[in-house]
């Protein structure tokens, strides 16, 4: 069989009859089909359009077209098969097939791939400029998707690894539907299509079978490469080019050795997306007494442990809402690190803030943070809760056991000082110290504030040695600077109006934060 005469339908049919057969076989777009036998459109393009028409419910039509083109390239071109970013792009386009959210991820993914390709040979200032361009472009794209809320916050939470399972599903869905569509094209039009087009049908079907097996083997490497480049862009947005220390949660498991900043950041980014709020922070647990059944699913008091239901405030269980997700009654053991920030009373942005104490009941788990950003954000300690500048830290000695209520910090949105939003995500513990321990820590904290000199003290009741000291940022007032929403006209890419929310006031029994 030879190709048909330019500009004429095959087999001597009329255009009307060919249109009817085309629609029956694959729901072809007639405007494309009518020009399909002109020299301006290749046989491959015609087949692609036919296949796209057969799978109208698969998602993003432009992504399907691109996926088919990349499929042919990867299956036929050895150079493309050796290009990591061709595989990453294929994976990104597969995610575009996910209804609703897929289009968002595709937009981000394609720009991440473009940045990786453009910046591969760049260094220094040139690479930094390309990074800034990529970050700005991605946020601008995200701003078009109103349902995601604040574009920057959404992007900072994105991990392609969270969609690994969906990527494998989309691969099976895509290759299966394309193969089925190709079978339909061959069955309906095989007797009238030219040999060249039939060869393309067979080539594309073979490509689908090969890709289904090959890409599944490559998914882990694809995810690793995509997330690696994405983290570089996220770091730029998060800290304006500073280090990644701001992402660290300081969550160290008992007995775990050589925990790196990368591992800690990974722990910060991995928790279940179902705990995310609409604005992107860690969703607060219910605090309404009418929802005790829901609260019971995430927390139940046990004798000997702090009781988070014992001291409601204004009729609400604010201690429960200070956590996001399950709260465990856990016996902290030797090697566990604790920290707590405190400071004298003063004012922040014109609002009076009370004194906070070294002997409170709310503690962070892990190493004491090295920067105020690494503390306030993950610990979600609003400026209105307490000022800072001083820290108390401890490591549980061998044989020590300390009962605590432990869980993930929930987001906090300011009430008294409007505009501050802190995502939470760190690990916190409520510890009910004895009166002697509490009073001594408070006294030491006051002395350190007055003298500026660090002190250590071993608590005879628990055997724990506490170190109380000034923080590295104590001499500079950083209160009123962290976690505030963008003000329009100040050069930020996006803004978001605050919604009315309940605030979980981090108080427990003694009203110490």
Residue 235: pLDDT band with limits 50, 70, 90: confident
pLDDT at 16: 54
pLDDT at 63: 65
Greater confidence (126 vs 254) lies with: 126
pLDDT in tens, 274-299: 477 767 788 899 999 888 888 998 99
pLDDT at 362 over 60: yes
pLDDT at 8 over 80: no
Got the DSSP string for 282-315? BPPPP--GGGHHHHHTT----TTS--TTSS-BTT
Residue ranges covered by each domain of the chain: 12-239, 244-470
pLDDT at 140: 76
pLDDT in tens, 406-449: 999 999 998 888 888 898 988 999 999 999 999 999 999 999 99
What is the arithmetic mean of pLDDT over 343-351? 88
pLDDT at 9 over 70: no
In 3-state terms, what secondary structure has residue 424?
coil
Q: Comparing C-alpha atoms, which of 337, 359, 339, 333 is closest to residue 436?
A: 359
Greater confidence (155 vs 68) lies with: 155
Contacts of 384 (CB under 8 A, 6+ apart): 348, 351, 353, 414, 415, 416, 417, 420
pTM of the model: 0.46
Query: Mean pLDDT of all residues in the chain?
Result: 75
pLDDT at 233: 85
pLDDT at 99 over 80: no
pLDDT at 188 over 90: no
pLDDT at 246 over 70: no
In 3-state terms, what secondary structure has residue 450?
helix
What is the arithmetic mean of pLDDT over 341-360? 90
pLDDT at 485: 62
């Amino acid at each position: 069989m030879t190709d048909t005469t330019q500009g004429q339908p095959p087999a001597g049919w009329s255009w009307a009859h060919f249109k009817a057969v085309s629609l029956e076989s694959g729901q072809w777009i007639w405007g494309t089909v009518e020009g399909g036998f002109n020299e301006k459109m290749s046989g491959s393009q015609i087949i692609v359009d036919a296949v796209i028409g057969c799978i109208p419910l698969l998602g993003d039509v432009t992504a399907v077209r691109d996926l088919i083109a990349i499929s042919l390239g990867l299956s036929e071109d050895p150079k493309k098969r050796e290009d990591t970013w061709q595989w990453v792009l294929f994976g990104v386009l597969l995610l575009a097939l996910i209804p609703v959210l897929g289009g968002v991820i595709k937009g981000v993914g394609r720009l991440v791939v473009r940045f990786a390709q453009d910046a591969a040979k760049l260094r220094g200032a040139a690479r930094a400029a390309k990074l800034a361009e990529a970050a700005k472009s991605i946020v601008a794209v995200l701003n078009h998707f109103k349902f995601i809320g604040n574009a920057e916050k959404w992007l900072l939470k994105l991990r392609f690894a969270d969609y690994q399972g969906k990527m494998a599903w989309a691969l099976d869905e895509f290759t299966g539907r394309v193969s089925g569509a190709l079978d339909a094209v061959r069955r309906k039009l095989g007797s009238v299509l030219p040999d060249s087009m039939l060869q393309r049908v067979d080539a594309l079907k073979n490509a689908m079978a090969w890709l289904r097996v090959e890409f599944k083997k490559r998914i882990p490497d694809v995810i690793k490469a995509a997330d690696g480049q994405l983290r570089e862009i996220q770091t730029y947005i998060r800290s304006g080019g500073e280090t990644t220390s701001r992402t660290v949660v300081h969550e160290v498991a008992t007995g775990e050795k050589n925990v790196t900043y990368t591992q800690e950041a990974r722990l910060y980014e991995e928790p279940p997306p179902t705990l995310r709020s609409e604005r992107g922070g860690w969703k607060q647990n219910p605090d309404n007494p009418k929802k005790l059944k829901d609260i019971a699913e995430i927390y139940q008091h046990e004798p000997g442990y702090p009781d988070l239901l014992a001291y409601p405030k204004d009729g609400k269980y604010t201690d429960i809402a200070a956590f996001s997700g399950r709260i465990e009654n856990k016996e902290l053991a030797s090697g566990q690190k604790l920290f707590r920030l405190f400071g004298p009373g003063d004012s922040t942005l014109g609002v009076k803030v009370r004194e906070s104490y070294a002997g409170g009941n709310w503690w962070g788990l892990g190493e004491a943070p090295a920067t105020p950003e690494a503390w306030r954000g993950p610990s979600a300690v609003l400026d209105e809760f307490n000022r800072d500048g001083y820290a108390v830290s401890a490591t549980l000695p061998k044989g020590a056991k300390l009962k605590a209520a432990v869980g993930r910090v929930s987001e906090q949105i300011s009430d008294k000082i409007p505009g501050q939003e802190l995502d939470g995500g760190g690990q916190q513990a409520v510890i009910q110290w004895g009166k002697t321990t509490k009073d001594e820590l408070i006294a030491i904290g006051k002395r350190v504030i007055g003298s500026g000199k660090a002190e250590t003290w071993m608590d005879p009741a628990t055997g724990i040695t506490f170190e109380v000291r000034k923080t590295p940022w104590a001499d500079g007032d950083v209160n009123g600077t962290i976690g505030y929403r963008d003000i329009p006209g100040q050069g930020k890419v996006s803004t978001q109006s605050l919604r009315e929310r309940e605030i979980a006031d981090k108080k427990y029994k003694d009203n110490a934060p």
